[in-house]
Amino acid sequence: MVIIGSGEAGGCAAVAIRDAGWTGPVTVIGEERHLPYERPPLSKAAITGDDPPEPKLSVEARRFGECDITHTSGSRVSHIDRDSKQVHIEDGGVIAYEKLLLATGAQARPLAVEGGEYALTLRSQEDVWALRRFFQKGRHIIIIGGGLIGLELAASANRLGARVTVIESQDRLLARGVPEEIAGRMLETHQQQGNRFRLAASVEKVTRTSVWLKTGERIDGDVVVAAVGAQPDIALASAAELPVSNGVLTDAALRTADPDIFACGDCAATVHPLFSPSPRRLESWQVARDQGSLAGRNMVLSPQDQEAVPWFWSDQFDWQLQVAGFPDLGETVVKRQLDEETALHFFLSGDGTLVGAAAFGPMRLLAKDLRISQRLIAGQVKPDLSQLAAADRRLKTLLAA
């Protein structure tokens, strides 16, 4: 069993292969020199912590020794030979496989403007070391991109005493995947902390320390950071003539068009039977873990379709964003007011099925209700709208019903 990619998904898959009973060799091929490590802290604790940042190894990486999993670090795959079922390494090595998993992840999307190569990005532990040189008190950090990574970096820079300007091309933050009302609350939270924003602003060119907008305005700072999304690492799959479209295409069991090759995590566009027959790509720590574990199991045992409801979170100062399911599939929105400032939004499809839930507020208010919401979504519940909205009615009663 061979896994290309040593991120969260690859690490989970390797251990799941062993837990499923496979006794033959398991090899994880990683380009980075680290064992699989946690990436959510990269935009938060790794930036703001006092100590020099070191990667926090994942739970699965700590089991590689006991599970007899071979991890080859600093190795880059040149190509996959599907006919001979071999993986070729750039240094000349060749590894044969019975089953192969593509867990190659995604790369930071480059800033496609003049001078875009000068902007720093965040995707790996090495990127953190570069950013920490600038994220200091009194510095001015210019962040291009008002998505989750951009906002998390903005919050971290603010905590360190830096001035922050966020430039977003859309007329609101988080236009993809987060409801407008919640995005508005997140904007207010940042502005209350002193972060500044340029919305509906198009960048014309950048240098290492300046950004020119198409309006002619020039914004000067100490560093420019690009947080304009990620693109799936699909080069190997494409060269191997596997179907790709914003990700390596798989069925609901994470199998590609080749029955001996699976794909999961940030690099994969997968079918989720609970929501849509169309493949979708999801960038989420939890999704990477869920899909990695399922892919590893399916490589050994009879394949099962994915069932876990997608979920992600983002820390913004003292509040947290949580999203479950697919809010964008909802046609009806129901609000459940948790306190004066915090509301839980439910999203229902045209036939009344609950397909998503989202909220932004103190974690103590959100955690329990979001966990229950995930279970309601998984059960394809068609709840009474008045009961959803009634904050004095426990969500567990809907689950029981």
Question: In this predicted model, what pLDDT tens digit does every residue of 118-144 receive, in sequence order?
Answer: 999 999 999 999 999 999 999 999 999
As a whole number of angstroms, the distance between CA 379 and CA 392 comes to 22
β-strands 140-144, 163-167 pairing: parallel
Which of 49-58, 99-108, 366-375 shows the lowest mean pLDDT across its residues? Answer: 49-58
Assess whether pLDDT exceeds 90 at residue 257: yes
Comparing CA positions, the residue from 157, 123, 154, 166 lying closest to residue 138 is 157
**Residue 401, pLDDT score:** 73
β-strands 319-325, 311-316 pairing: antiparallel
Comparing CA positions, the residue from 346, 385, 344, 400 lying closest to residue 367 is 344
Assess whether pLDDT exceeds 80 at residue 381: yes
Do the beta carbons of residue 263 and residue 101 sit within 8 Å?
yes
State both tokens at 89. 């390494």
**Residue 54, pLDDT score:** 86
What does pLDDT average to over the chain?
95
Which residue in this structure is represented by tokens 């490589």?
299
What CATH number should be reported for the domain whose range is 318-400? Answer: 3.30.390.30
Which residue in this structure is represented by tokens 């998904």?
9
pLDDT tens readout for residues 1-47: 999 999 999 999 999 999 999 999 999 999 999 999 999 999 999 99
Domain 2-107+230-300 architecture: 3-Layer(bba) Sandwich (3.50)
Residue 359: helix, strand or coil by DSSP? strand
Q: What share of the chain is helix, strand, coil (3-state, %, to 5)?
A: 30, 30, 45
Backbone angles phi, psi at 206, to 5 degrees: -140, 160
Q: Give 63's pLDDT tier (boundaries 50, 70, 90).
A: very high
Q: Is the pTM of this model over 0.85?
A: yes
Which are the contacts of 293, defined by CB distance < 8 A and separation ≥ 6? 12, 13, 15, 16
Do the beta carbons of residue 178 and residue 147 sit within 8 Å?
no
Residue 345's identity, in one-letter code, is H
Which residue in this structure is represented by tokens 């479209």?
245
Which residue in this structure is represented by tokens 């929105």?
333
Q: Across residues 71-84, what is the average pLDDT?
A: 97
**Residue 52, pLDDT score:** 74
Do the beta carbons of residue 62 and residue 34 sit within 8 Å?
no
Share of the chain above pLDDT 90, in %: 92
DSSP bridge pairs for 219: 211
Q: Give 332's pLDDT tier (boundaries 50, 70, 90).
A: very high
The DSSP-derived string for 10-48 is HHHHHHHHHHTT--S--EEE-SSSSPSB--GGGGTHHHH
Do the beta carbons of residue 295 and residue 262 sit within 8 Å?
yes
Backbone angles phi, psi at 112, to 5 degrees: -90, 60
State both tokens at 110. 């480059």
The alpha carbon torsion through 274, 280, 286, 289 (nearest 10 deg) reads 100
What are the residue ranges of CATH 3.50.50.60 in the chain? 2-107+230-300, 110-226
State both tokens at 395. 């969500």
State both tokens at 130. 């570069």
Assess whether pLDDT exceeds 90 at residue 53: no
DSSP bridge pairs for 96: 86
Which of 83-92, 172-181, 311-320, 323-332 shows the lowest mean pLDDT across its residues? Answer: 172-181
Which are the contacts of 2, defined by CB distance < 8 A and separation ≥ 6? 27, 29, 87, 95, 97, 99, 100, 101
Pick among 3.90.110.10, 3.40.50.2000, 3.50.50.60, 3.40.190.10: CATH of 110-226: 3.50.50.60
Which are the contacts of 329, defined by CB distance < 8 A and separation ≥ 6? 275, 276, 347, 349, 355, 356
pLDDT tens readout for residues 153-190: 999 999 999 999 999 999 999 988 788 999 999 999 99
Residue 65: helix, strand or coil by DSSP? coil
